[in-house]
């Protein structure tokens, strides 16, 4: 494997190993319970966890988004989670940008990425949008891959954030409803997540057929 990938991949492995013993506490309820009580400290704490998450591939982004919904009123929760998603997408993308051109080595190390073709430059924003809308996983490795593929930063962040916000809003809404599991908000959020995945698949197929 290309040696230039050793550093970013070692960072991801180290992050995953560091968080593995804490995996039982990395739930929306566990994060909310351990958060500071002051709103600004809670926001900083959550954003720091988004940054850590982006280097670990160890726990789902939805846990952080739902925790935001539990910690803040809905408008503030959406704002904090939008900032957190931007942080989580930026860190692995920038690591990938530093290793541009090594896509073969990255695919060899992670076979799940083998089916992911580098987006064409004129359609990069749309490709990133659909990948985020569909919840392409593992998200951190996808971000690193897109950075290594040379996706322009503007297309990456605009497409990525627009594609991620509907799913983030759904998970945030789920967080506000976790105290009343089985209620209307709970089922609405779960249904919205499934619908977004289905819509993204339809759009992806229509795009490639066109």
Average pLDDT, the chain: 76
Residue pair 99/12 in contact by the 8 Å Cβ criterion:
no
Q: Check whether 28 has a pLDDT greater than 70.
A: yes
Q: Check whether 125 has a pLDDT greater than 90.
A: no
Q: 193-202 long-range contacts, Cβ below 8 Å, gap at least 24?
A: 193/135, 193/167, 196/133, 196/134, 196/135, 196/166, 196/167, 196/170, 197/134, 197/135, 199/133, 200/130, 200/133, 200/134, 200/135, 200/163, 201/134
Within its chain, how far is the Cα of 44 from the centroid? 18
Alpha helices for 98-177 (secondary structure H):
103-109, 124-133, 139-148, 153-177
Helix, strand, coil abundance in the chain, percent, nearest 5 = 80, 0, 20
Confidence at residue 44, expressed as pLDDT on a 0 to 100 scale: 93
How many Å apart are CA 109 and CA 100, to the nearest integer? 16
Higher pLDDT, 163 or 15: 163
Tokens of 70: 């539990």
77-81, 134-138, 166-170, 196-200: least confidently modelled range: 196-200
Average pLDDT over residues 168-189: 64
Q: What is the pTM of this model?
A: 0.75
Higher pLDDT, 1 or 146: 146
Average pLDDT over residues 70-79: 91
Average pLDDT over residues 130-147: 82
Average pLDDT over residues 79-97: 91
Q: Check whether 89 has a pLDDT greater than 90.
A: yes
Cis amide bond preceding 97, omega within 30:
no
How many Å apart are CA 131 and CA 200, to the nearest integer? 8
Closest by CA position to 129, among listed 83, 102, 166: 166
Confidence at residue 101, expressed as pLDDT on a 0 to 100 scale: 62
Residue 191 CB burial class (10 angstroms; 0-12, 13-18, ≥19): exposed
């Amino acid at each position: 494997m290309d040696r230039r990938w050793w550093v970013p991949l070692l960072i991801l492995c180290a992050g995953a190993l560091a968080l593995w013993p804490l995996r039982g506490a990395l739930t929306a309820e566990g994060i909310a319970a351990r958060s500071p009580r002051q709103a600004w400290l809670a926001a900083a704490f959550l954003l720091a966890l988004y940054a850590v998450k982006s280097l670990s591939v160890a726990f789902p982004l939805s846990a952080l988004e739902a925790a935001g919904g539990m910690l803040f009123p809905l408008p503030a929760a959406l704002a904090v989670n939008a900032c957190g998603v931007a942080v989580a997408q930026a860190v692995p993308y920038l690591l990938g940008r530093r290793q541009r051109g090594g896509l073969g080595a990255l695919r060899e190390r992670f076979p799940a990425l083998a089916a992911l073709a580098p987006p064409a430059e004129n359609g990069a924003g749309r490709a990133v949008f659909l990948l985020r809308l569909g919840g392409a996983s593992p998200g951190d490795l996808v971000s690193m891959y897109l950075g290594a593929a040379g996706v322009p930063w503007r297309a990456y962040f605009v497409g990525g954030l627009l594609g991620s916000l509907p799913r983030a809003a759904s998970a945030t809404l789920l967080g506000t409803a976790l105290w009343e599991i089985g209620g209307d908000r709970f089922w609405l959020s779960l249904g919205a997540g499934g619908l977004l995945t289905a819509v993204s698949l339809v759009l992806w197929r229509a795009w490639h057929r066109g």
